[in-house]
Amino acid sequence: MSRAVFVAGTDTGIGKTHAACTLLHALRAAGRNACGMKPVASGCVETPDGLRNDDALALLAASGDAGLPYAQVNPVALREPLSPHLAAAHDGVTITLSPLREAFARLQATHGTVVVEGVGGWLVPLAPGLFASDIARQWQLPVILVVGLRLGCLNHAQLSARAIVADGCRLLGWIGNCVDPAMDALEENVATLCRLLPAPCLGVLPHGLAPAQAAGHLRAAVTALD
């Protein structure tokens, strides 16, 4: 049976890709046939092979599957580094869930676990009436919330967790990512998040460690996907 999880973030730039890649390394180290997916990516560059996005390429590399088509990992690639609904409009594209779901189904058919990384925060718009959260909601995926550990994270994490639960999704747990190595009272803030969030901490990623080296910090996340 194929499993899947949606990796959401408290904001943009807080390390969703880093956490998703680290989770992929942890899953593969545990013997899982796992791959990553970035359904929608804005901020892509033109290459001889077409538009490519650094986050999607990182997920592809962390999947360890040289034969995996880029278009399955990132079916909607947009040029400008803007909110997806704006980047899509500038590219003359309308984002819909159908082609994303088709790519997801192909990945599920060949991999035991699919780690689906969202774009921006939970309520980033993709198109009129369509939000990043709809991917997790309509595909009925459990959610792992990545919390960027920096000043303000307590508020951002609680708001995101409430929105995830209010949308009827299962919050499987959360991962702390140390985006600010100089954050004051880091351990106390993590302890506060453990008390306030309605799901367990699945690991805290230290600042500066590459995904392959940080994989041991996400053993609880691997167990949660059993």
Residues classed as catalytic: 38
56: tokens are: 């999607």
Three-state secondary structure along the chain?
A: CCEEEEEEECCCCCCHHHHHHHHHHHHHHCCCCEEEECCEEECCEEECCEEECHHHHHHHHHHCCCCCCHHHHCCEEECCCCCHHHHHHHCCCCCCHHHHHHHHHHHHHHCCEEEEECCCCCCCEEECCEECHHHHHHHCCCEEEEEECCCCHHHHHHHHHHHHHHCCCCEEEEEEECCCCCCCCHHHHHHHHHHHCCCCEEEEECCCCCHHHHHHHHHHHHHHCC
- Is-contact 124 8, C-beta < 8 A? no
Enter the tokens of residue 34.
């796992």
Cβ-contact 60, 70 below 8 angstroms: yes
